[in-house]
Structure 1
Amino acid sequence: MARPLGPVRLRRTSPGTIIVGLCLVLVILYLLVSPSAPDFSAARKATAALHPLSPPTSPFRKSSAVGGKSGPPPVTRYNLNNVTITNDPVANRENVLVLTPMARFYQGYWDNLLKLSYPHELITLGFILPKTKEGNAATIELQKQIAKIQKHGLEKERFKSIIILRQDFDPPIPSQDESERHKMANQKARRASMAKARNSLLFTTLGPDTSWVLWLDADIIETPPTLIQDLASHSKPLTVPNCFQRFYNDEKKAMDERPYDFNNWQDSPTAQELSSKMGKDDILLEGYAEMATYRALMAYMYEAGADIHTEVPLDGVGGTALLVKAEVHRDGAMFPAFPFYHLIETEGFAKMAKRLGWQATGLPNYKVYHYNE
């Protein structure tokens, strides 16, 4: 016969054990629901996007999911009156969008870009590349360099975000050799295609917190590290430095330099007269003997030893290096891919900006350098 069991005694758990157990549960829950995100600094977290639909000029950070369900997309409010555009953009923490149409990858361009002293966490990079063999090779090399800096570089070296676009149209000129690019017969089609690429890049990447847009060509390989601060210090709607090219001078038997960008100019009566006699689809081009315009070219205004901050008003600008206040683009100034007052692309952009009330300014003694093929 089984003996009846006596009363069961429950062992009392100490309060300390309960507290430790609760802490462990809370830690586990936190690890389960917390987002996996890159190691952002406080400054980066302050501008991080919370949802894929947020502006692409903000770095993306995944939102937390509770119970397997993501939260609703955020409603984001931006007050453009709070976006400052000043002559001291570093002190005012102003965001800069650096845009580069790229057909070939030049290591010198990338190395120079990394040397820019403007805080990288305030810089968004945007690239657009064509669907060509050279474009594919440039995209692969660009992605390699981006991975080095964004994944493995020091945090101060990393850029706020980087956007890469591929063109949805074919370039009219298959070769990007300098001799082919600059043939007069190729200019209208080539520059119309460039205008489309610039507009696609601009309209895709311009965010509501962008203060400045720096257009920097992919073959600009040498600039002062303070390029952005220097150009912004003039606080002009459009500011363009003088673009030169280093080369070996066979006559001097030494390295030398020569003017490169002839699209920075002041208009002339001759050019205006030529324009008045043109058909509606014709364009004026600069730097060609077959079409002498007698405009005053900033390329020839350089004075050795003169003040690098000397300013001159311009009627046309090039895009090798061009700093634009974001409000100029927001006002509607873009790059016409069609004859606009017989001008196209960057020169047409300067004309359109001027029609909107924005004056272009050139710095003839401030030099940047173009790659020499």
Structure 2
Amino acid sequence: MARPLGAVRLRKANSVTLTVGVALVLFILFFLMSSSTPDFSPARKAAAALHPLSPPTSPFRKSAAGTKLKPPPVTRYNLNNVTTTSRPLENRENILILTPMARFNQAYWDNLLRLSYPHELITLGFILPRTKEGNLATRELQTRIAKTQTQSPERDRFKSIIILREDLDPSLYPLATQDEHERHKLANQKARRSAMAKARNSLLFSTLGPSTSWVLWLDADVVETPPTLIQDLAQHDKPIITPNCFQRYYNSKTKTMDERPYDFNNWIDSDTARELASKMGPEEVLFEGYAEMATLRTLMAYLAKEDGEEGRDLHEEVPLDGVGGAALMVKADVHRDGAMFPAFPFYHLIETEGFARMAKRLGWEAVGLPNYKVYHYNE
């Protein structure tokens, strides 16, 4: 019998083909769902905060859509149980890395990802200005964060990440540009360092949680550190400790890559500096590294020994009276005790140098490691 015109004869599907097809559909659905939802281990899920008002350094898991949010829990914290030791890795101590950021540098982020300390114990905190450069940096930072926290293996994802924006009228920002030449003009230092101090304090007070053991201040332009930076600094068990910040550059005289000191805010005080300060008015600030203010302080930047030099020890310590913020490791208890970054002249010092003086007044000492180097981006 003839078939009607246009009729299609269906062939019975093979069972193997159906099985493969179903498996493929299930795989695609699993991939789409898992790519948008971080797959954390049970240990991480158990430690996640149950409410958005929980401490900011605890990762937060969103409730399912349509679920009624429970009231915030009443939680008691015994800070005596928070350890800050020379063996943070063995004791599973939580690290808070804080970075004021005006511009995004990919090398900074890449270096951050290379840190060997377990990322599940690291919380990142950033504060960025509401400027054109700050808006661009925020977008770039958010892009890298989204990729790391959703697409990277779990071991590379950080415990939690917090981004703050400065609540300041853009017209009040002390500098129109973040170019290195403008940033380091002496005439710009008081306004610039005061704004930096306010940003640091806002970031610190908004992110320091009850389980934080150490706070690592890391400059947004620090692009190279040893992967073991956290463990190396913590092993000294000092309240405040800082490495030496250098800068790699091309030496046109030797036609080779070379390095030079960068951070001159790590210093040992001098009689000359104290005498200069004694003659200053109450609102004047003494800045380091300027010919107009020859302090004759001992700068840690110039205490570094060359590679191979006799007696060179990476972990040699020197006491400091002033510190910089390029890479600064602080026991959380120092900040909890009230040591912050003065945005005003504090004994004629301001920001990180003022922080060192304030911490010392509270009984906390600072040390530096002249031969242990981190590297700042060379503009």
TM (normalized to structure 2)?
A: 0.87
Preserved CA contact (<8 Å) 1:37 1:62: no
Preserved CA contact (<8 Å) 1:313 1:361: yes
Tell whether 2:345 aligns with 1:346: no
Preserved CA contact (<8 Å) 2:56 2:207: yes
Preserved CA contact (<8 Å) 2:123 2:160: yes
Match of residue 39 from structure 2: 39
Tell whether 2:373 aligns with 1:367: yes
Preserved CA contact (<8 Å) 1:63 1:71: no
Give the distance between the partners of 1:110 and 1:176, measured in 2 at CA: 19
Give the distance between the partners of 1:275 and 1:56, measured in 2 at CA: 40
Match of residue 24 from structure 1: none
Match of residue 142 from structure 1: 141
Preserved CA contact (<8 Å) 1:282 1:342: yes
Give the distance between the partners of 2:63 and 2:139, measured in 1 at CA: 30
Letter aligned with residue 198 of structure 1: R
1:321-360 → structure 2 map (5 Å cutoff)? 321-360=327-366
Match of residue 320 from structure 1: 326
C-alpha deviation, 1:334, in angstroms: 0.2
> Any stretches of 5+ residues in structure 1 without a counterpart?
1-35
Match of residue 76 from structure 1: 75
1:1-16 → structure 2 map (5 Å cutoff)? none
Match of residue 97 from structure 2: 98
Letter aligned with residue 43 of structure 1: A
C-alpha deviation, 1:76, in angstroms: 1.1
Give the distance between the partners of 1:371 and 1:211, measured in 2 at CA: 28
Match of residue 201 from structure 1: 203
Secondary structure in 2 aligned to 1:89?
coil
Letter aligned with residue 52 of structure 1: P
Match of residue 16 from structure 1: none
C-alpha deviation, 1:44, in angstroms: 1.2
Please point out which of 252, 275, 289 is paired with 1:273.
275
C-alpha deviation, 1:300, in angstroms: 0.2
Please point out which of 193, 211, 230 is paired with 1:191.
193
1:14-163 → structure 2 map (5 Å cutoff)? 38-62=38-62, 69-163=68-162
Give the distance between the partners of 2:69 and 2:46, measured in 1 at CA: 21
Preserved CA contact (<8 Å) 2:38 2:149: no
Preserved CA contact (<8 Å) 1:37 1:61: no
Give the distance between the partners of 1:38 and 1:153, measured in 2 at CA: 9
Letter aligned with residue 40 of structure 2: F
Q: Paired residues, what number? A: 337
The structure number with the bigger radius of gyration is 1
Match of residue 231 from structure 1: 233
Preserved CA contact (<8 Å) 1:264 1:362: yes
1:247-258 → structure 2 map (5 Å cutoff)? 247-258=249-260
C-alpha deviation, 1:40, in angstroms: 2.0
- Mark the CA change 1:183 to 1:68 in structure 2 (over 3 Å): closer, same or farther: closer
Match of residue 297 from structure 2: 295
C-alpha distance after superposition, 1:23-71 (max 9, x if no partner): xxxxxxxxxxxxx974221331232101011011000024579x96433
C-alpha distance after superposition, 1:71-124 (max 9, x if no partner): 332111110000000000011000000000000000110000000000000000
Match of residue 32 from structure 2: none
Tell whether 2:313 aligns with 1:311: no
Letter aligned with residue 275 of structure 1: A
Q: CA RMSD in A?
A: 1.4
Preserved CA contact (<8 Å) 1:192 1:344: yes
C-alpha distance after superposition, 1:268-301 (max 9, x if no partner): 0000000000000000000000100000000000
Give the distance between the partners of 1:268 and 1:175, measured in 2 at CA: 34
Letter aligned with residue 273 of structure 2: A
Give the distance between the partners of 1:308 and 1:177, measured in 2 at CA: 32
Match of residue 21 from structure 2: none
Letter aligned with residue 246 of structure 1: R
After the TM superposition, which segments of 4 or more aligned residues of structure 1 sit over 3 Å from their partners?
62-65, 67-70
Letter aligned with residue 369 of structure 1: Y
Give the distance between the partners of 2:243 and 2:194, measured in 1 at CA: 23
Letter aligned with residue 55 of structure 1: P
Match of residue 223 from structure 2: 221
Preserved CA contact (<8 Å) 1:64 1:70: no
Preserved CA contact (<8 Å) 1:237 1:360: yes
Letter aligned with residue 47 of structure 2: T
C-alpha deviation, 1:223, in angstroms: 0.2
Give the distance between the partners of 2:326 and 2:281, measured in 1 at CA: 29
Secondary structure in 1 aligned to 2:56?
coil
Preserved CA contact (<8 Å) 2:37 2:150: no
